[in-house]
Structure 1
Amino acid sequence: MADGRATRPVTIVTGFLGSGKTTLLGRVLSEPSMRNTAVLVNEFGEVGLDHHLLRRVDERAVLLGNGCVCCTTREDLVEALLELLDLDQRGEIPRLDRVVVETTGLADPAPILHTIFVDPVLQHHFSVDLVLTTVDAVNGDLHLNRNPESVKQIAAADKIVVTKTDAADPGSAKNLRSRLGAINPSARVIEASFGETDVDELFRPNGAGSHAVPEVPAGEAHDVGETHSVSLTFDGSVDWTAFGIWLSMLLHARGEDVLRVKGLLDVGEAGPVVVNGVQHTIHPPEHLDRWPDEDHGSRIVFITKGIGPEELVGSLDAFRGLLGARPLPLGAGQAVPSS
C-alpha cells in the first residue's frame, strides 16, 4: 500500500567506466537542494561522496528462468530501497525527496527499471523519473566503438551529460555530440566540465508525471553499426489498445533488441499517451490532459539493434487495420558513420 504521498522519484545515473559519474554526483550532492536525496552506489569510487544518505549496493543479480538479461531482478536494489522506505516512513531519516542510483560502468540500466516496475512493494512507493547517462568527451567514441554496453546506456538516456569537455578537442567533441544524437535523437545533451552543471536543470523532468515527457524530434532515421533509430508519426489517431498489443508482441519476440522506445501518441483524446520503455521494461503509460506543445501529432522514436527501420514500419503497417492509422517515417533513412 502507498503511504498517501506521491511516489519518490528515482534517478538512474549510468555511463561507461571513467565517464565521470561519481565526479558529477559529488558536485550535485553538494547543493543544499539535494540534501534529502538518498544515493545508492555500486562503488564508492576515487572521488569521496560525503553524504548522509549514502548506501552501497552490490550487484547480486538473480537471473530469471528464461535467461533474459533484461529481466534480471536486482535483489540488492530491492533490499536497499525497502530499507530506505522503512526509515523514511518511520521518520528516522529526513523525508526522501529523491533516490539516485549510480550503476557500475558496465551496467545495463534495464534491470534497474525492471526491478522497480515489477516489485509489488516498490512500484507503489518509487517511480523512475530520469535516466542520466554520462559520456566522456575524450574517450566516448572509443567506448562506443568497442563496448555495446555504452550504446545501451546512451539509448536508455533521457538526458546525456557530456563530461571532460575542457580536455577534449572541440572538433572531436562536436562530432561526438552528433553521434550521440544519431543514436538517441530524443535525449537532451548537456555539457559538464569538472562536473559543473545546473543541478536544477539536470534533475528537472521535461513534463509532469512520473517520468520525463519525451522531446521527440521530427528527425531522420539513422544507422550506427547494428544500432538503428527511427522517428515515426501516424496519419491519424491510433487505437491505444491495438498499439499496446503490437508493442507487447514486439517486446515478447525481440525485447532485448528494442533498446528504447519513447514518444507521444495521439489516441483521439484531449492529450497524448506517453510511451517510454527500455528493452522489455515499459513505464506505466501516462495519459496527459493536454499536449506539451502546438504539435498534436504522434511522434515516437525507436532505437533498435538488428531491427531495421523498414522491418519496424512494415510490422506496424501490417497492424494498420487495428491501429486505425498508417505509420509514417519522419524522414528518409541516412547512414551515420560509426566513428
Structure 2
Amino acid sequence: MESASNYLPPVPITVLTGFLGSGKTTLLTRLIRQPAMARTVVIVNEFGEVGLDHHLVAEASGNTVLLDSGCVCCTMLSDLSATLRDLHRRRMVGEIPDFDRVVIETTGLADPGPILHTLMTDRVILGYFKLDGVVTTVDAVHGLGQLNRNTESMTQVAVADRIVVTKTDLASSASLSLLKSRLREMNPAASIQESDSSEVTGLLMFESANYSLDPEHLDVDRWLKAEAYDHRDNHAHHPDHRHDDDDNISSRHHDAIDSFCLTSEKPVRWGALVGFLDALTQLRGADLLRVKGLVDVEESDLPVVIQGVEHLFHPPSQLQSWPDSDRRSRVVFITRNLTREPIEDLFRICVAAVEAKEAPL
C-alpha cells in the first residue's frame, strides 16, 4: 500500500450526533455501504455500537476494522485528539487505506460542544483535518418529548447543519409536522430531511462546509434563509417564549432554546464588533450554541463573516463580494436561556462606547 502524500489537503470531518435511540447508528450503517463512502473513516466509541454486519468486515486489526465496502472504522483512543493524530500517522505510513472523509459518531447523551471545540482549536489537528459540519438524527415518534426533557437533545439540534428525522413510518402526519415545525423554530438554518428521502445519501449528508474557514465555501444562502424565517415567525420576537412549554411540560426546570436574527441597517465599526463579540463570549459564552452571520463593517466595502460555537469564535473573515443587494448586517443566534433583548442591549452599548471614544473633541 502506498503512503499518502505529505501535502494532502485537510480531511473534512462530519460529526454525527443524535439522542439515544434516534437512529443515528442505523443511518450510519446504511450510508457506509454506499460506494461513494468507500474512502471514509468512521470513529466510534465501541464497534458494538455501530452494529457492524460481520459479513461486511474484511479485516480487523487492533482498534481498526476494514469493511469490504472500503470504509475504515476505528474505536476512540484516550481522546479524540489522540485518535485523529493516530489516524493521520497510520495513513501516512500506509498502515490503513487512504481516506478523504472522517465521520465521528457521538454517543446518544453527548453534548457535541467539546468535540467541536477540539476540532476548531487543536493546532495539530487543524493541520491535517477540518471540521465540515454536524448531522443530527431525531426520532419522529419520541423526538418532541426528548427535546422537552433533555438538554443534550436540544443542543444536538441547535448545532446541526443537517437534521435527519428517523422512524417517520411510525409517526402520524400531524405529529411529524409538529416536530418539523419545532425543529425549524430551534434551528431555522439547518436543512431537514426524512431518513428515507432520496436526498439522504452519504455525500449529501456529509458535505456541508458550514464550519469551513474558507469564506468562499460558506453556505451563506442558508444563513440568509434563516434570517427570513425569523422575520416570518412571530414567536421569535417574543422574549417570554420558551420552546419547552410544549406538551404541558413545565419549563422551569429545563433549558430553553431560542433562535433569532439580529439586523443592523448601519455599518458597524470594527472596534464595536470586536468588543461586542468579546463581551458576549465572556458574559454568556456557554449559552451561545451557534452564532453565524454577515456584518457590514464600516472600514470595508466587503462583508465580514462571523461564526462561533459557545465561547469559541473563528477569526472573522471576508467574502469577496456581497451575496445580494442587501447590505444589512445579519447575525443568526441559537441560544440557551438567552433571549434577543440582552444581546441587542449589549450590541448597542459596544457601538455607543466606540463612537464615544472616537468622537472628535
Question: What band does the TM-score fall into relative to the shorter chain?
Answer: 0.7 to 0.9
Give 2:151's aligned amino acid: P
Counterpart in the other structure of 1:213: 219
Counterpart in the other structure of 1:165: 168
* CA shift in 2, pair 1:128/1:313, >3 Å: same
What is the Cα deviation at residue 282 of structure 1? 2.5
**Structure 1 contact 43–104 (Cα < 8 Å) conserved:** no
Counterpart in the other structure of 1:107: 110
Counterpart in the other structure of 2:52: 48
Deviations 1:182-230 (A, max 9, x none): 1111111111139982333222326794474252222142642432221
Unaligned runs of 5+ in 2: 57-66, 245-255, 356-361
**Structure 2 contact 44–106 (Cα < 8 Å) conserved:** yes
TM normalised by structure 1 equals 0.82
Alignment of 1:190-339 (within 5 A): 190-193=193-196, 197-205=200-208, 209-210=212-213, 212-214=218-220, 215-216=222-223, 217=226, 218=228, 219-220=230-231, 221=236, 223=241, 224-225=243-244, 226-267=256-297, 269=300, 271-321=302-352
Give 2:203's aligned amino acid: D
Identity %: 43
* CA shift in 2, pair 1:28/1:256, >3 Å: same
Query: Hey, what's the Cα distance between the residues in 2 that align with 1:181 and 1:323?
Result: 36
Query: Hey, what's the Cα distance between the residues in 2 that align with 1:304 and 1:99?
Result: 28
Give 1:248's aligned amino acid: D
Counterpart in the other structure of 1:7: 10
Per the alignment, in what secondary structure is the counterpart of residue 123 of structure 2? coil
Q: How many residues align?
A: 307
TM normalised by structure 2 equals 0.77
Deviates more, 1:27-36 or 1:270-279: 270-279
Per the alignment, in what secondary structure is the counterpart of residue 21 of structure 2? coil
1:123 aligns with 2:129: no
Query: Which structure dedicates a bigger proportion of its chain to helix?
Result: 2
Give 1:318's aligned amino acid: I
What is the Cα deviation at residue 241 of structure 1? 4.5
**Structure 1 contact 37–98 (Cα < 8 Å) conserved:** yes
Per the alignment, in what secondary structure is the counterpart of residue 121 of structure 1? helix
Query: Hey, what's the Cα distance between the residues in 2 that align with 1:138 and 1:212?
Result: 33
Give 2:260's aligned amino acid: V
Higher-Rg structure is 2
Query: Hey, what's the Cα distance between the residues in 2 that align with 1:201 and 1:296?
Result: 30
Counterpart in the other structure of 2:100: 97
What is the Cα deviation at residue 39 of structure 1? 0.7
